Amino acid sequence: MRADAAARAALLTPMAKAYSTDIGNEVAYLGVQVHGGMGFIEETGAAQHYRDARITAIYEGTNGIQAIDLVTRKLAANGGAAVWTLLDELSATVKQVEASNDPGFGTTGTKLREALGALTRTSKWLLERVASAPSDALAGATPYLQQFGATLGGCLLASEALAAKAEGNAEAARYVALARFFAENITVQAEALERTVTESAESVAAADAVLLG
């Protein structure tokens, strides 16, 4: 059990660090944007938040390095055992969403199931390439982390919404609405990111050859 817990913590570390800080940068960017030109004026405080958020993707291991660590070490460990275990748990959550028949979830169940399918296929593809074609695996590391984060985030928000409903939480509808928004607007990116990982390695190598040649 202790080994399993350590493997789970190791797997989640790069996603918790990189995906959350990327989102933090996006939120801070939007904070500047909604202020218009005033977003660059120090009195609003928005510019300071943006500067503060930007460093989070750099220290404690830049997010690019976190993505490489996810693919080459965390995914590759024990044949991907930690990943398959986690995906099985997420699949169980999706089944609960689908079984709830709550119209508030909209197409959350379908979107999460499609994302899990894409993430599973991408994980298998990368696991093969880590050993046989490591450059291809490295080329897809960052979009893989984004795909994993978007899928995991959608499933965890759905799990939180299900728990709120089960507990009779007065705010349950808000949790459901948030889970639906994330699934239908963010998690849906998973299928496109699958194609980025599995079909773009050659273009990345070609760009390197041209730009560095």
Residues with catalytic function:
60
Whose structure tokens read 């298998």?
124
| Token pair for 209 | 């050859």
Tokens 């590391």 found at: 141
Whole-angstrom distance, CA of residue 53 vs CA of residue 162:
31
| CA atoms within 13 A of residue 159's CA, in its CB half-sphere | 11
Query: The tokens of 128 are what?
Result: 């093969």
Contact status, residue 153 vs residue 189, Cβ threshold 8 Å: no
Rounded Cα gap, residues 18 and 6, in angstroms: 19
